[in-house]
Amino acid sequence: MKFILKTILIFIFITQLNAQRKSILIVDQNGSGDFTTLTEAVNSLPMFNYERITILVKKGVYEEKIRFDQDYITLEGEDRDSTIIKYNQLREDWAKEKDSIGPAVININGDDVIFKNLTVINTQPEIGPHAFVLYGTGTRTIITNCSMISKGADTVSLWDYKTGMYYHANCYFEGAVDFVCPRGWCFIRDSQFYEVKKTAAIWHAGGYDQDQKFVIKNSTFDGVEGFQLGRHHYEAQFYLLNCKFSDKMSSDPIYRVTYEDTTRNRPFNWGKRYYFSKVEKEGKSLEWLKDNLETNNHKVTENEITPLWTFDGKWNPESEEGPKIIDYMIYKNEVIFKFDEPVSVQGNPLLTSKNNVTFTYISGGGTNTLKFITDSDIKKEELMTLVITNGATIHGNIASVKDRNTSFEIIM
């Protein structure tokens, strides 16, 4: 009797606890959501976030700037063209009178942050000066189906120079000098670049690790007459594959920036690493754009250049595989599953075995171990064919393009 009562109380406590945690926050300036501003939604986040939270932003123009310090945040617009976040912010102005939010329209310090279906604009009107749209120091940042627009330099500045890995797809980038300028590893596919000044569009810093690289596939470049493709100050490694360049692009190749004061020059031990495959330029062809992929030190082919390869096997943002159970422990009527990554739990999962034994979720969301309980001692055989039967989900925390739900497959 005591055991049954204790179990019931645990179930009630866990149900109430999970009900209090919302995994989706809705921002609607018309008042039909949880918040009317992004700032309110961001301020509601916990100091430390262990499970993915999605901030869904309804259509509208939100004139504010924000900062994420937490991990596992998804900022998703209802519609790319109609969900607009904008703010007027020069980096120089922020440096003179710093606020706690940061120098960009969106500032991120957390890992595994995802942006989807948004337009973000730095509305300062001057062409050229530093005017960030997105500034970040976290790793595994994803931007998909977004427009990032500025008249200034360094539009998208993701600057975790040690471990930073960034994935962007189906995006539009606009800005002045070095307007897409990753430090670390970056992979971009199926995107458009537009340069508003007669300066370099892309920039890379890869001096912390010789394998750090900037890969761009299936993308287009356009801009004002005479815009340059790219440059770098630090060690850098560029791969441009199946890209198209307008006839407005200058004949200047990607180049290293140096100074008369040699003390300002960064090390350049690894030499020029600018690789091209199947690129096209309107108008006059350029010798330096000819295919030279076979000269790369990795001896890699175009088909082998994937996000997983770009990130040296450390991250595959295009993976569809959910978290895998790598171990489990049974203690009477409780079982703890250990996964190969931290997981998020949405809802209150009920697991059912092939012989209709039901396991109720108790705790562990935000870690790599989850505890479940049933009403009798557990046998190993009952864990072999578990399925979630009540519509709840358990998915990986590591940022990915698609939701990666666990299948609860256990190899005995």
The predicted structure's pLDDT at residue 354: 87
The predicted structure's pLDDT at residue 163: 98
* Pairing verdict, β 343-346 and 393-396: antiparallel
* 144, 169 contact by CB (below 8 A): yes
Cβ neighbours of residue 93 closer than 8 Å, sequence gap 6 or more: none
The predicted structure's pLDDT at residue 325: 94
Indicate if the alpha-carbon torsion angle 345, 346, 348, 351 is positive or negative: negative
Cα–Cα distance, 71 to 325 (Å, whole number)? 23
The predicted structure's pLDDT at residue 411: 61
Cα–Cα distance, 10 to 74 (Å, whole number)? 31
* 196, 322 contact by CB (below 8 A): no
Task: Give the up-direction half-sphere exposure of residue 401: CA atoms within 13 A in the CB hemisphere.
Answer: 18
The predicted structure's pLDDT at residue 1: 45
**Neighbouring C-beta atoms of residue 358, cutoff 10 Å:** 14
Q: Which residue has the tokens 């700032």?
A: 39
In this structure, what token pair is assigned to residue 396? 């990986």
The predicted structure's pLDDT at residue 269: 96
pLDDT > 70 fraction of the chain, expressed in percent and rounded: 94
The predicted structure's pLDDT at residue 9: 43
What one-character DSSP code corresponds to residue 104?
Answer: S
CATH architecture of 20-122+132-176: 3 Solenoid (2.160)
The predicted structure's pLDDT at residue 5: 43
Enumerate the domain spans of the chain: 20-122+132-176, 184-318, 325-396
> What are the pLDDT tens digits along the chain (412 aa)?
444 444 444 444 444 444 446 899 999 999 999 999 999 999 999 999 999 999 999 999 999 999 999 999 999 999 999 999 999 999 999 999 999 999 999 999 999 999 999 999 999 999 999 999 999 999 999 999 999 999 999 999 999 999 999 999 999 999 999 999 999 999 999 999 999 999 999 999 999 999 999 999 999 999 999 999 999 999 999 999 999 999 999 999 999 999 999 999 999 999 999 999 999 999 988 999 999 999 988 889 999 999 999 999 999 999 999 999 999 999 999 999 999 999 999 999 999 998 899 999 999 999 999 999 999 999 998 898 899 989 999 999 999 999 999 988 776 5
The predicted structure's pLDDT at residue 348: 94
The predicted structure's pLDDT at residue 412: 52
The predicted structure's pLDDT at residue 316: 98
| Phi (first) and psi of residue 254, to 5 degrees | -55, 140
What one-character DSSP code corresponds to residue 365?
Answer: T
CA distances from 200 to 196, 239, 251 (A): 10, 16, 12
| Percent of the chain that is helix, strand, coil (3-state, to 5) | 10, 35, 50
